[in-house]
């Protein structure tokens, strides 16, 4: 686990989700969230995750997986405890999933793929 990625992704996602929450809470009536919170929450979570991917320079696929994992874990905790507890769990699972990313693995895969492409190209030229 890369602790730097864990803490950066946790900080960025927390800041983005918290800011969006504050803006929406000030702009919209409580009844909106009672009626449409089931849809706006997950959409906001995914949008914040996409922005986190860009700001922390992580692959989008990884971050979308992390958002799904965090969202499911948070939803389950929300059912058993509270929305606030679910949000904390969502953020921690999201950051832990992002922290599992190892950039050097991607670089090694790229080198191997390039070598395979070169070999295949040489075989075609024969």
pLDDT tens digit sequence for 66-124 = 999 999 999 999 999 999 999 999 999 999 999 999 876 555 555 556 666 677 666 66
Summarised one tens digit per residue, pLDDT across range 4-39 is 999 999 999 999 999 999 999 999 999 999 999 889
Q: Is residue 85 part of a domain?
A: yes
Q: Is residue 114 part of a domain?
A: no
Q: Is residue 54 part of a domain?
A: yes
The total of structural domains in the chain comes to: 1
Q: Is residue 90 part of a domain?
A: yes
CA distance 81 to 96: 21
Question: Rounded to two decimals, what is the model's pTM?
Answer: 0.78
Q: Is residue 25 part of a domain?
A: yes
pLDDT computed for residue 114 by the predictor: 65
Domain containing 11 equals: 3-100
CA distance 53 to 13: 9
pLDDT computed for residue 123 by the predictor: 67
Mean pLDDT of 50-76: 96
Show the tokens assigned to 19. 């800011």
Q: Is residue 29 part of a domain?
A: yes
Show the tokens assigned to 115. 């070598």
Burial of 39 (0-12, 13-18, 19+ CB in 10 A): exposed
Asked if residue 49 lies in contact with residue 67, where contact means CB atoms within 8 angstroms, the answer is: yes
pLDDT computed for residue 1 by the predictor: 86
Cβ of 26: how many Cβ atoms within 10 Å?
Answer: 7
What mean pLDDT value characterizes the chain?
89
């Amino acid at each position: 686990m890369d602790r730097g990625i864990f803490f950066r992704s946790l900080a960025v996602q927390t800041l983005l989700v918290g800011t969006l929450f504050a803006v929406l809470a000030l702009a919209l009536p409580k009844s909106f969230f009672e009626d449409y919170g089931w849809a706006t929450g997950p959409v906001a979570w995914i949008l914040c995750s996409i922005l986190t991917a860009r700001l922390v320079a992580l692959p989008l696929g990884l971050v979308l997986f992390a958002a799904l994992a965090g969202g499911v874990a948070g939803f389950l905790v929300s059912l058993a405890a509270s929305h606030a507890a679910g949000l904390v769990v969502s953020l921690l699972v999201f950051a832990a999933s992002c922290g599992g990313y190892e950039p050097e693995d991607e670089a090694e895969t790229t080198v191997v793929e390039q070598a395979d492409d070169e070999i295949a190209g040489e075989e075609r030229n024969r």
